[in-house]
Amino acid sequence: MPITIKIPLAKRIFDILVAGTILTLISPIWILILILIFIEHTLRGHPLDPLFYKETRMSKGQPFTLYKFNIFDQRVIEDLRKNDIFIHTKKLEHTGKLILIGKILRQIYLDELPQLLNVLRGDMSLVGPRPLNIEVYANLKSENRTQAKIPAGITGLFQSYKGKDQKTSMELDAEYFRHFSTKSGLWIVAFDILILLRTVKVVLRARGI
């Protein structure tokens, strides 16, 4: 029998309020980033390259379209798709397949800003395990697949502990799942706030997530 995990109303309200507020405050930065990406695409001779990157990921045990700024070399993306090769964005990020502005955005985590739209739509939460790609999700063990049925997050425990914790992302995702599945809505929100504050420190260190 499929396992249904209820999302606390307090967490959903918190997500909407915070994501909406951030989007409103950073709208000038958002526009500036789009302009810089367009300028770099134009200088590379490809002004019609997309400004956003879209990919199918998993959240709450369901596929959804994840958005981020298009920080990748579009020629690399097109070659992978043409040859029907599964795109692992983390591998592209770590092998330098990025445009110049993309390298800067990734380092300070701003390439993920469009996922605030995913939060408002209810696809994701501000805090939770990072959304898995379909290939990784399909290979999960039953226990880990159950954990993947909670909302994926823009950030999570692993990201907030960047460089300061010896646990793996899987271990920290399991820790967050235990908290999510055993605590009340307000306690979950309080824990999310703590993770968000830690994440801000990571972003300010500009170490990338």
Contact (Cβ atoms closer than 8 angstroms) between residue 132 and residue 152: yes
- Over residues 42-77, the pLDDT tens digits come to 999 999 999 999 999 999 999 999 999 999 988 888
Residue 5's pLDDT band, with cuts at 50, 70 and 90, is confident
% the chain with pLDDT above 70:
94
Backbone angles phi, psi at 144, to 5 degrees: -70, -30
* Torsion of the alpha carbons at 72, 78, 80 and 84, rounded to the nearest 10: 140
Global pTM value: 0.88
pLDDT, the chain, mean: 88
Backbone angles phi, psi at 196, to 5 degrees: -65, -40
What is the DSSP secondary-structure string of 158-202?
Answer: HHHTTTT--S-HHHHHHHHHHHHHHS-HHHHHHHHHHHHHHHHHH
pLDDT at 207: 55
- Over residues 154-205, the pLDDT tens digits come to 999 998 887 666 788 888 999 999 999 889 989 999 999 999 999 988 888 7
CA–CA dist 27, 149 (Å, integer):
31
The distance from CA 207 to its chain's CA centroid, rounded to whole angstroms, is 16
CA–CA dist 81, 141 (Å, integer):
28
